[in-house]
């Protein structure tokens, strides 16, 4: 189990103001998706963030202006469109974002790129963002995130995908699979 304090510390660190501004905030949030599946919503004048699959009492309230929250979601939309032109609008969408290795000193073989799946709405009345680790090339295998019906997530290796499609459609689980650029 992931210790809630570690999660809270990492999220609060991402939202701590730096010289990198909104770009740095979004980079940090996307980097968190390697370890956590996040759901963020702006409500009642502050950001509410939780790990997907976490209990309701594990919600984090982050004091952040609505303008910063909306700018962060707009940055996510811009990254989606940089990597796949015209794939989302500034107001809503879903897509994949390829993340470079956290340590740019490493070669791709030592630390391959990963993919995050994002889903967002950024309208005047509704602002939310969901970030999930989608896949990573790991040697000869691929890692995939599985979203269980009870909203918990699990990461599996690609050879687990040998399961017949009948099982995938059996309401037990849903695979979130997105192609990885090689």
Q: Which CATH number fits domain 4-176: 3.40.50.2300, 3.30.450.90, 3.40.50.970, 3.40.640.10?
A: 3.30.450.90
pLDDT tens track for 125-152: 999 999 988 766 544 445 555 555 565 5
pLDDT tens track for 34-68: 888 899 999 999 999 998 877 766 789 999 999 99
> Would you give the end-to-end CA distance of the chain in angstroms?
32
pTM of the predicted model as reported, rounded to 2 decimal places: 0.69
pLDDT, residue 155, reads 54
Residue 66 and residue 127 in contact, taking contact as beta carbons nearer than 8 Å: yes
């Amino acid at each position: 189990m992931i210790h809630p304090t570690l999660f809270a510390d990492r999220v609060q660190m991402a939202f701590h103001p730096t010289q990198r501004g909104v770009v740095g905030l979004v980079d940090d949030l996307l980097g968190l998706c390697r370890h956590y599946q996040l759901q963020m919503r702006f409500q009642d004048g502050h950001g509410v963030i939780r790990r997907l699959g976490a209990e309701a009492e594990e919600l984090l309230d982050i004091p952040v202006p609505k303008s910063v929250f909306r700018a962060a979601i707009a940055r996510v939309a811009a990254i989606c469109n940089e990597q796949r032109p015209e794939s989302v609008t500034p107001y809503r969408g879903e897509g994949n974002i390829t993340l470079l290795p956290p340590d740019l000193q490493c070669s791709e073989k030592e630390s391959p790129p990963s993919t995050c799946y994002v889903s967002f709405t950024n309208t005047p009345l509704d602002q939310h963002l969901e970030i999930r680790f989608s896949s990573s090339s790991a040697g000869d295998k691929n890692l995939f995130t599985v979203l269980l019906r009870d909203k918990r997530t699990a990461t599996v290796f690609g050879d687990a995908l040998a399961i017949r499609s009948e099982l995938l459609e059996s309401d037990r689980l849903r695979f979130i699979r997105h192609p990885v650029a090689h």
